[in-house]
Structure formats: C-alpha cells, structure tokens
Structure 1
Amino acid sequence: MHPQVALASSAASPAPGLLAQPDTIQRTLSIPARGDVTVNFSIRADHNPEEYGLDLLFPTIPFDTFSGFPVAEGTVLTTKRGYASMYGWTQLWKQDDDIDDWRFDWAPVQTGLNWPFVWFGPQAQMFDGPTRVGVADLDWTARSFLTYVEDSLMTRSVRCAIGFEWGFWIRDGRVAIKPLKLLETNMDWDMHVAYLSKTFPDWHFKPGNSSQQK
C-alpha cells in the first residue's frame, strides 16, 4: 500500500493503463501443518477509482485523476480454518534507479510500527492501489509476499509461501502497467531477509520457503 501523491500544478493527468485484461496468477501450495492453500493474485487497470475508495484517501482530488493506475488484489483460500488459516502479506517497493533499494511498504497508519505485514489475518486478503499525480516519468515496482508465522500467533518467526512482482511506468504522463510475475521464492525472498531483519529487529525472517506447489 503506497497511496502517495506528489502534486505538480502543470502536470497532465495520466492516460488509462495499457493493461486491457486482468493479469492473474493462481497457485495451490502445500504448507506443513497447515494443509493446502490456494493463492490468487491479480493486477488490473483501475478504471473506476471511486469504486476502489481513492476518494476516501484523497477527497480534494478529482477521483478520475487516478484512472489507469494498477490495482493489485490477492486472495487466500485455505483447507484448514482458524489459527491454521492465519497469513500475512509482506510488501516491499522501489522506484526509478534504486536497483537494490527496496523498502517496506507501510500503510500510513502503520508507519513506524514493529509489524512486518501490510495485511494479516485469517485467509488474509491483499489490496494495493498505488498512485502518483503530477509525475511525468516514474518506474515503480512492488513485491508482494504471502507470509505466515510458523506457530500462527505465538512467536515472531516469519516464513514466505509465495511472492509476486508487479508495478507500473509513467512516461510523459502516461501510465503503463507492468506484467505480473511469479517470483522465485527462495532467491527473491532471501535477498530481502537482511533488510527485513534490520527493519524489524524483534522478528526472525527465515530464508527459503517450506511450501510445495501442487
């Protein structure tokens, strides 16, 4: 979640995103002691910002200004319920030439909290609708990892189940949405473990993953 607005008085509004149809990846995983979990992750262009609540975040800006930016949604369906269905979404982002400068994607109300999940709960759903206004050129990328606490709620030990990469470009004020990618969990998650451990020192982030795709 990164609903940042950089205002510029002379910038043109972005054109609608170039993604004609939703880009979706679905995988079923087997998680030790948790059973099977089906993860569905999709990216689409936001052609109705009011429907997605952008007017709640930015009430003074015409909501159609945000048309064409991506919206990302992740759903989780588990075979077990209750404590065995507890999952979280850990998201990082970077922009432009910050090749290795990934940052944790705090929602504004979470900024500074010692909590490494943007969303967390039973069969946790994920949503993000990043926007920029008054920016002519930008390259923005997010990585959304489905994560879980090994013993559900007891200790601060986090593992990764699966990850996705997505984002958008702005070129001359026009928005284009990047293709959705399935990440190589062992390699791509592991490269963020040191940063997450430094950012959330009271938590333990385990490298690799213990899930198996079915």
Structure 2
Amino acid sequence: MILPFAHDGETGHVTVELEQVDDPLTIGKHPATRGFPCCTTTVEYPGRGYRAMFGWVQFVRSTDNASGGADFEMDPFVLFEDAPSPYAFFGLAPTLFDAPSRAERRSMAWLAHSFLAHTPLDGAERRVLPLAGFSWGFDMDAAGGITVRPATALTTADWDGHVPYLSAAHPAWGFDKWQADERP
C-alpha cells in the first residue's frame, strides 16, 4: 500500500509492506515466531535535513492487552518503552519496522494503528502533527494459525480518537488534530 502525505510544501509517501515471516532469523526473531506478520514501512520525501525529520506513533489493541482488547495502548519500541516520548521511531525519513509475536499460540486478535507525524522544531512546546496513518494486524486461531490483516488507510477521525489518550499518556506533549489541508 502507498499512502501520500504533504508537509512543508512538498508531497511524499509512505510504502507499507506486510508479510508473513517464513524465516524469523532473517529479521532477528526466534524460529518459534514463524508465521507471524512483519511490517516494514518506508518514507519517501524530497525535503532534506530537519525538513525530513518524522516519527512513527503506534497504538495496539490486542485481546491480550490490559483492557482485553477493548482499548488501544501505546506501542513503544521495547528499548525505549520508558522514554517520555510518544514516538516508537523518530529520525530522517524513519522506517517503521514491527514484527509482533507471542511465545504462546492461542486465539487472539491484534490490531495496530500506525501514524507518521512530525514535530515542529521552532516552537517552545513539543507537538505532534499527524501526516498519514494506516492499520494492520493479525488474528490467531485456537490452533495457532495466523491470518495477517491487510493494511488499510486511517482517517482523521481515527487519529482524533487517539488524541485524548495521547494527551493523558504524554502530558508534556501537545497533539494536534489531523488537519485536512495536511493531506495531499
């Protein structure tokens, strides 16, 4: 899937690639995680330097999370899960990479909402402004069989629905609504 976005007078796009992992060792995972999904999303943007500084904010709703699948939760990168930032990945045209798995194979549903965003460097407040978003995930049946959910584009309402949670989880940050004119 390819999703266009506009930022700072330029148009870019994100390319979402989902696959069911046949050889977990090639992506740094244990062999027992064979069959789980892998998401790799790249950013193409003509701006350079600080103009191409973006981040990925990702939420997960899973039947094995604290709410039993009723609510989305932040999905930070495991090495930085205690960092006071809403971003899972941040950098120059950063790649979003995620390969969720579980040690125990049992019936479950796992859904991610992933958003590309930017944070202006010229303000006193740290703000997150969304640019593009998509959902993806997987379902596992009672026998451990995995079905990958295809990527689908998210809307401004999807982002706006996460803003109250983001504001509570990261009170030192501001979260703008997704502005229609930010989309190409």
2:2 corresponds to: 26
Code of the aligned partner of 2:73 = R
User: What's the CA shift for 1:98?
Assistant: 2.3
1:16 corresponds to: none
Structure 1 pair 131–198 and aligned structure 2 pair: CA distance change class (3 A): same
In the alignment, the residues of structure 2 paired with residue 194 and residue 139 of structure 1 have an alpha-carbon distance, to the nearest angstrom, of 24
Q: SS at the partner of 2:19?
A: strand
Q: SS at the partner of 2:25?
A: coil
Code of the aligned partner of 2:35 = G
Higher Rg: 1
In the alignment, the residues of structure 2 paired with residue 153 and residue 48 of structure 1 have an alpha-carbon distance, to the nearest angstrom, of 45
- Pick the aligned partner of 1:107 from 57, 60, 77: 77
After the TM superposition, which parts of structure 1 deviate over 6 Å for at least 4 consecutive aligned residues?
Answer: none
Structure 1 pair 198–47 and aligned structure 2 pair: CA distance change class (3 A): same
Is residue 144 from structure 1 mapped to residue 114 from structure 2 by the alignment? yes
CA shift digits 1:26-66 (9 cap, x unpaired): 123222x2512121112111111111011xxxxxxxx3211
User: What's the CA shift for 1:68?
Assistant: 0.8
Structure with more contact order per residue of length (Cα contacts < 8 Å, sep ≥ 6): 1
Q: TM-score, normalised by structure 2?
A: 0.90
1:66 corresponds to: 33
In the alignment, the residues of structure 2 paired with residue 29 and residue 105 of structure 1 have an alpha-carbon distance, to the nearest angstrom, of 23
Contact 2:5 2:11 in 1 (8 A): yes
User: What's the CA shift for 1:78?
Assistant: 1.1
CA shift digits 1:80-123 (9 cap, x unpaired): 10000000000000112523x11000222212211111100011
2:158 corresponds to: 188
In the alignment, the residues of structure 2 paired with residue 164 and residue 42 of structure 1 have an alpha-carbon distance, to the nearest angstrom, of 11
Contact 1:30 1:36 in 2 (8 A): yes
Is residue 39 from structure 1 mapped to residue 10 from structure 2 by the alignment? no
What is the Cα-based RMSD across aligned positions, in Å?
Answer: 1.6
Contact 2:77 2:89 in 1 (8 A): no
Identity %: 28
- Pick the aligned partner of 1:197 from 167, 170, 173: 167
In the alignment, the residues of structure 1 paired with residue 26 and residue 123 of structure 2 have an alpha-carbon distance, to the nearest angstrom, of 33
